[in-house]
Structure 1
Amino acid sequence: MLRRALSLLALSASVALIATACSPAGQEAAEPATGGTLVYATGDAEPTCLDPHVGGNYPQALISSQYLEPLVGRTADGEITPWLAEDWEVSEDGLTWDLTLREDVTFTDGTPFDAEAVKVNIEHLQDPETASSTGYLAVSKVAEVEVVDETHARFHLSEPDSALLESLSMPWTAIQSPAGIERGMEENCAAPIGTGPFIVEEWVPQQQITLVRNDDYASPGPQGEHEGPAYLDEIVWRFIPDAATRQAALASGEVHVIDNPQPDAIVSAEQGDEIEHIDAPRPGSVNRIELNAGQTPFDDARVREAFIRAADPNPGIESLYLGTVTRSYSPLGSTEPMGVSDESLFGTDPDAANALLDEAGWTERDADGTRMKDGQRLTVRFPVSTNQSVAAEQSLFEQIQANTAAVGFDVQLSPVDLSTWYGALGANEYEAVSAPYTRVGPEVLRVLYHSDGIVPAPSGYFANHAQLSDPELDALLDQASATHDEAARADLYAQAQQRILESFTILPLYDQQNHFLTRGVTGVTTLGTVATPTFVDARLVG
């Protein structure tokens, strides 16, 4: 048996440094207070369900990290750490995982946290009625959870899964009270019950969610600096879609934390001393444009390469983001240690783009200059979710639209709400899309680019938007998923990434942006899993 047990004590020094760094410079002399209400303003879409098992998007992760906790945690450098599970062992064949659970944890409804609760949660994720996507895919190789005794859960897998612990560290697989789940989806969506530092007290749709302190909190994760309950009395989680309105509320002291600030607000915060900036890029994929290889015109690799040679995103990235992002040439975010980058594949060359389109038979032009072939225009439908894209990104897409038009593409940008965006993808009504996918570890490559990902999950969502179907790539990803040797795993993922990049199905742009601005509060940190904020150590200042 291969044993894996890590100590939380080694993290204390780095956590202390993070907490110190999050104290605004202009407030160093003020004494942090105990109690009070922290107001958080989010620009992400309001969840339709507060249970992250249902669906599984980032807005759910943001809020649910405050009241639900995962079995394991993860440091910023990618090391898995204990949390609700304090120890684990995996069999030599990789098909059996034994998890030892903490004995001193209770859900906020009084239900004990035990192996039966773990079993119920995995079954909840796998139940088609739950309509899970992210969590469903994360535990797809778990055939059964056996309750050995109260503190020991045995995972039986259908095939080896080297990413299992990474999957179990995510908010979308976090553990909920079995009694809470038993209430049914409607009630559980309104107020999931967990073991976290806060409890969902009230949700007023389209306005705010009120979270109150869990006075019995006893399971601080790897980022926790102190034992015991949070310092704050409550958090009011407000939904403010407009970035300028969020920024004004922060500047006036109406709110203490905002997410999704515009680049100029980030630059201003870093130049001043009243507002603190937390830069916490998400793991998983980079922000990228994916080209739908499953249908015309991008079923032709020459046309995909032509689009990428003409797109020329760098000037827009530099001018629009004011130095707050760095261009990526990798499928994986910079926080992932196994990322592979290849800038040579993404040089701008309009002459080469024109030659490739000529070679592919798109030689005619209509009156607007759009290329044509057999009476069909070179049209690229590009739905853009207004809930997931900041203004700078939308402007970047418009620049790419203009750049590719110069060689004959008609890129039709369609700003739509999140529901309509999901509908367009489900109906295959797109040729290009920007759909960042957040999950822990390089296993995101298998989720996004294995041909299995073209098949929808029970929620109806499918992750392989590039519709890349490559047997050799599938084999590399399957082998990496089954390999526990880290060096061999890294090599397999490196080969897979190179193959993805050379397919010209993606145009990498930059890390998934995850910025927070704080004012009047100290001790705000982000989790090393998917970079969601945690307020267990937060205290109001002044």
Structure 2
Amino acid sequence: MTATTAILLAGCAGASPATTESTPVAGGTLTYATGFGEPTCLDPHVGGNMPQALLGTNVLESLFSQDADGAIVPWLATAGTPSADGLSWDITLRDDVTFTDGTPFDAEAVKANVEHMKDPATASSTAILALGKVADVEVVDPTTARFVLSEPDSALLESLAQTWLAMESPAGLTRSQEENCEAPIGTGPFTVESWTKQDNVTLVRNESYNSSPTGAAHEGTAYLDKIVWRFIPDPATRFAALQAGQVDVIDEMQPDNVVTATSSEDLAVLQGALPGASIRLELNSGYAPFDDERVRKAFIASADVNPGIESLFFGTVERSYSVLSTSTPYGASYEDDFAIDVDKANTLLDEAGWTTRDADGYRTKDGQRLTVDFPISTNQSIPAEQSLFEQIQATTKEVGFDVQLHPLDLSSWYASLAAWDFGVTSAIYTKNSADVLRILYDSANIQPAPSGYHPNHSHVDIPELDELLTKAGQTTDADERAAAYADAQKILSDGAYVLPLYDHLQKIGYRTSVQGLSLLPTLQLPYLADAWVQ
């Protein structure tokens, strides 16, 4: 690892705002309708998914944030200083922040949070993976927490900027998990007032708020009195509610709704590419039929993605040929590896022994059909994407694949992944650095986290790949990281483990009466402390 001096956290602009044309007015209620699904727990340490992060960004705060260029900037921490050998980081903290229950934010609180995230009983699947190299947190003094590492971690501060690793009141963490899930206690601009299951969570303004992130449009308390965070899973219903003025802001917009909103005087759209992995298909190489590289390559050579993206997404997304999103550094694109070649696909399947076809046209071998189970999370997959999967199902059928699509709710989808009960799946994994490759494709992550979730869905087990991801995670030399990540992505591409589709875009629709809405660059999540209703 290249030794570095203290990271200086400059006050760069940190949010991507909607245009504000009028003087902010305090007060009022904003109604936000989400399509990401209702969390089973509001504490993002537990599990760790997008529904938790969306809501949690306005209740909880992280040690660091990032500016629009990806540089680490202060939030609850003011600086991070690595040791010469990279095996520890001293994190300097603000001394003027208090949790909304009156508990002081200090190094003891940071230690308690890390221990909570790493405790198997918490059942974390996101924070615990991000903290995989953190062996301990030592309290040096009230404003200095020392992160002791098992090996250097070039992505540590980036990880600590994510909402899934946000700080919660140590007193709150001593409650039962059920109680903490109902209303986690943070330092953010809003607090959880109530949660009516299958309907809404109501947030109210934190009157003592004083820790706005770098780049916020104003310091101090939020303008809004209240946020009503509604759960409306159906995208047509959600957009109709926005058009009718029944809600003020929605997420997970359909492509055609984006087009409609951008041409409306009453509506507007705020967009940003979520960092981490692109939306992609992951082929389960640990089990038949994709344990055979020839079969994986045949699937990719016959899965014609581009026509569906062109016809179904109305120009709102572009085809990706990289496992990393365009907002993530060190992404490498290998377009030639994903070219459609039906003749090649047929030849590969013949070589793999799938030489006969049944009456329905599907390939068979030893009396077994070439079947690929494809569970789909209806909470995480928009209708246009599900239609894209149907087109992939049709094009791969031409060479003999029987792709069976199984729409499932989020919990059932997670269960199918945990049981390795799938041949291919589409997954979302948001992380604000290329270290997401280690989480998704290091062989160690074939084994499940305490929550039962194993992020290495492709079941990739390649020592050379592990070595490259370890090297990239230990060095802070940008050229070395770039080379290691490029080589790692080439191994994934050459082995046909992943089929990239497109960037996961945060598409926030809002009424133009809403001003000051922005996306925090760290995870492109809506930040509502600067928002107000005209």
> 1:22 touches 1:525 (CA, 8 Å); kept in 2?
no
Distance 2:33 2:10 in 1: 31
Aligned length: 531
Give the letter aligned to residue 310 of structure 1. S
Equivalent in the alignment of 1:445? 437
Local SS of the residue matching 1:245: helix
Give the letter aligned to residue 443 of structure 1. D
Equivalent in the alignment of 1:529? 522
Distance 1:8 1:229 in 2: 23
Equivalent in the alignment of 1:216? 208
Distance 1:55 1:207 in 2: 21
Equivalent in the alignment of 1:375? 367
Residue ranges of structure 2 left out of the alignment (5+ in a row)? none
Match of 1:4 among 1, 6, 12: 6
1:129 corresponds to 2:126: no
Local SS of the residue matching 2:505: coil
Distance 2:434 2:167 in 1: 23
**How far 1:501 moved relative to its partner?**
1.2
> 1:223 touches 1:525 (CA, 8 Å); kept in 2?
no
Local SS of the residue matching 2:296: helix
Equivalent in the alignment of 2:357? 365
Counterparts of 1:334-373 in structure 2, within 5 Å, are 334-373=326-365
Deviation track 1:209-256 (CA, whole Å, cap 9, x = no partner) reads 000001111111123111100000010000011111111111111111
Deviant stretches of 4+, over 6 Å: none
Local SS of the residue matching 2:220: coil
Equivalent in the alignment of 2:399? 407
Equivalent in the alignment of 2:301? 309
1:76 corresponds to 2:68: yes
Deviation track 1:276-321 (CA, whole Å, cap 9, x = no partner) reads 1111121100000010000111011111010011011100000000
Equivalent in the alignment of 2:459? 467
Distance 1:5 1:201 in 2: 37
Distance 1:2 1:291 in 2: 39
Distance 1:167 1:399 in 2: 36
Give the letter aligned to residue 19 of structure 2. C
> 1:3 touches 1:88 (CA, 8 Å); kept in 2?
no
> 2:325 touches 2:331 (CA, 8 Å); kept in 1?
yes
1:427 corresponds to 2:419: yes
Give the letter aligned to residue 174 of structure 1. A
Distance 2:19 2:399 in 1: 47
- Of 204-213 and 270-279, deviating more is 270-279
**How far 1:379 moved relative to its partner?**
0.2
Match of 1:93 among 82, 85, 93: 85
Match of 2:220 among 218, 222, 228: 228
Distance 1:257 1:56 in 2: 23
- Percent same amino acid at aligned positions? 58
Residue ranges of structure 1 left out of the alignment (5+ in a row)? none
Equivalent in the alignment of 1:263? 255
Give the letter aligned to residue 97 of structure 2. V
Match of 1:43 among 29, 32, 35: 35
Give the letter aligned to residue 22 of structure 1. T
Equivalent in the alignment of 1:237? 229
CA RMSD of aligned residues (A): 1.2
Give the letter aligned to residue 108 of structure 2. E
Distance 2:110 2:519 in 1: 25
- Of 219-228 and 474-483, deviating more is 219-228
**How far 1:7 moved relative to its partner?**
4.3
TM-score by length of 1: 0.96
Equivalent in the alignment of 2:491? 499
Counterparts of 1:93-112 in structure 2, within 5 Å, are 93-112=85-104
TM-score by length of 2: 0.98
Local SS of the residue matching 1:232: coil
Local SS of the residue matching 2:466: helix
Counterparts of 1:121-160 in structure 2, within 5 Å, are 121-160=113-152
1:120 corresponds to 2:112: yes
**How far 1:31 moved relative to its partner?**
5.4
Deviation track 1:415-450 (CA, whole Å, cap 9, x = no partner) reads 011111111111111000001111110000000011
1:396 corresponds to 2:388: yes
Distance 1:10 1:398 in 2: 44
> 1:69 touches 1:195 (CA, 8 Å); kept in 2?
yes
Give the letter aligned to residue 353 of structure 1. A
Distance 1:31 1:439 in 2: 35
* TM-aligned CA distance change 1:369 to 1:211, over 3 Å: same
